[in-house]
Amino acid sequence: MTSVGAIFLPSMPPERLRSMALAADESGLEQLWLWEDCFKESAVASMAAALAWTSSVRLGVGLMPVPMRNVATTAMEAATLDRLFPGRAIVGVGHGVLDWMGQIGARAASPLTLLGEYLDALRALLAGETVTTEGRYVRLDGVALDHPPAAPLKVLAGAEGPKTLELVGAKADGVILTGGTTPDQVRLARERIDAGRERAGRTDPHEIVSYVIVATGDGAAERLEAERGRWGFPQGADVGVTGDAAAIAEGLSRWVDAGVDTVVLQPTADEPDPEGLVHLLGEEVRPLLA
């Protein structure tokens, strides 16, 4: 069954998060996602607050940039959130925006090597293992969590290029596809993910999460087209859905048919009523996809 989520855009002030989280919880929306964009809002602090305010909605981070976070710190934070709010925290990591990583002096010469080493160590730590490794970037000496998750916590990773998709297929438990990924590009991404999984001998489930732009209400089509331009996507590119609940659900079926397990709706930058949109997605769109 397809899961449905929404994004709390980091362009919104942190104090707006509470009303968005409560709207997601009240509406029955399954997931609310956060972005740790530099230099806006802390994903972990935001997630902890939103989880405390709510009772059922799951909170996802898509994604935490690995160059700016020691893997032991990420493991401690993820494990703590999972112990406090069992089963409700979704952890996503990735390269981060390379220019931003350069701004903070953390840009890796080989982002692919760093991500691979990071995923191996993070998944092992969250599985309760004691980790010793001497990689190019990740170095741990007998590190283990005193309070690991009660069960191994899945780790998702962002990926876009073919090499990263294959790496994530081999080393992560799921992939986060960036906004602007068309249904046809989802199918191509699945091929690369599956190639990585086959090479690693993995047969366990691998979740595919994809961001899809959404606009509804007056001027929805125009706002979606403006959002395409804002992100530099080609005019008319199949990167979003518009209309009422039925039209949105029908449009999202293109991503579901392409193999997406979780569709996360990304509001336009000028969305006039983010909380209202969340209620629409939870109360009307989600049942149609289910």
Looking at the predicted structure, is the pLDDT value of residue 287 above 90? yes
Beta bridge pairs of residue 240? 213
Model's pTM, two decimal places? Answer: 0.96
Looking at the predicted structure, is the pLDDT value of residue 152 above 90? no
Give me the pLDDT at residue 182, please.
97
Give me the pLDDT at residue 1, please.
79
- Confidence band of 131 (pLDDT split at 50, 70, 90): very high
The string of pLDDT tens digits covering residues 43-55 is: 999 999 999 999 9
Buried b (16+ CB within 10 A) or exposed e, 152-186: ebbbbbbbbeeebbbbbbbbbbbbbbbbbbbbebb
Average pLDDT estimate for 227-254: 96
The string of pLDDT tens digits covering residues 190-205 is: 999 999 999 999 999 9
Average pLDDT estimate for 129-133: 98
- Confidence band of 240 (pLDDT split at 50, 70, 90): very high
Q: Where are the domains of the chain?
A: 3-289
Whole-angstrom distance, CA of residue 178 vs CA of residue 62: 9
Looking at the predicted structure, is the pLDDT value of residue 31 above 90? yes
Strand pairing class (174-177; 31-34): unpaired
Give me the pLDDT at residue 269, please.
95
Give me the pLDDT at residue 290, please.
80
Average pLDDT estimate for 156-164: 97
**Number of helices followed by number of strands (H, E) in the chain:** 11, 12
The string of pLDDT tens digits covering residues 64-82 is: 999 999 999 999 999 999 9
Average pLDDT of every residue of the chain: 97
Give me Rg for the CA atoms of the chain. Answer: 18
Whole-angstrom distance, CA of residue 189 vs CA of residue 192: 5
Looking at the predicted structure, is the pLDDT value of residue 58 above 90? yes
Q: What percent of the chain has pLDDT over 70?
A: 100
Q: What percent of the chain has pLDDT over 90?
A: 98
Task: Indicate if the alpha-carbon torsion angle 261, 6, 158, 231 is positive or negative.
Answer: positive
- Confidence band of 221 (pLDDT split at 50, 70, 90): very high
Angle (CA) 238-243-245 rounded to 5° is 110
Give me the pLDDT at residue 226, please.
95
Which of 3.40.190.10, 3.40.50.720, 3.30.465.10, 3.20.20.30 is the CATH number of 3-289?
Answer: 3.20.20.30
Give me the pLDDT at residue 261, please.
97
